[in-house]
């Protein structure tokens, strides 16, 4: 039997539930739909960042759903980047266009992403069995 590496003993794996992976996937789908609407209406300034956020969330979700050994870190990173991007987008919308539907989408998305981060922070203490 070989000894565990220092990284394994100092930073044990964290478990992220399949439901959390599905939640992140749903957030990715929501950003994909928002991006599609903005591409159709010709508002590429919003469509491109939303598509990037959708891809990042999709990668985080895939890491969880396919049980990648670093899924917790990947999910936290993806959700954090999406949260920061959404907060920036919400700030830009509030200062500029102030479209009610856009404001609502970004506010709800920000709440969902924040909730996902809370769920992920609670998963931090759980270890694989």
Question: What does each C-alpha distance from 17 to 47, 49, 78 come to in angstroms?
Answer: 30, 28, 16
* Mean pLDDT in residue range 14-23: 91
Residue 98 clears pLDDT 90, i.e. is over it: no
Mean residue pLDDT across the chain: 87
Axis-axis angle for helices 18-40, 100-123 (nearest 10): 160
Residue 29 clears pLDDT 70, i.e. is over it: yes
Tell the residue number behind the tokens 């969902």, with chain if given. 112
Whole-angstrom Cα distance, residue 18 to residue 48? 28
């Amino acid at each position: 039997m070989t000894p565990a590496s220092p990284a394994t003993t100092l930073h044990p794996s964290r478990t992220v539930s399949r439901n959390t992976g599905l939640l992140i996937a749903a957030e990715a789908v929501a950003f994909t739909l928002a991006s599609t609407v903005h591409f159709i209406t010709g508002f590429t300034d919003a469509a491109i960042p939303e598509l990037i956020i959708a891809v990042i969330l999709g990668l985080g979700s895939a890491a969880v759903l396919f049980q990648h050994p670093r899924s917790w870190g990947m999910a936290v990173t993806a959700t954090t980047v999406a949260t920061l991007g959404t907060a920036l987008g919400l700030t830009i919308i509030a200062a500029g266009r102030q479209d009610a539907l856009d404001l609502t989408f970004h506010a709800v998305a920000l709440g969902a992403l924040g909730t996902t981060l809370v769920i992920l922070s609670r998963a931090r203490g759980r270890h694989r069995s």
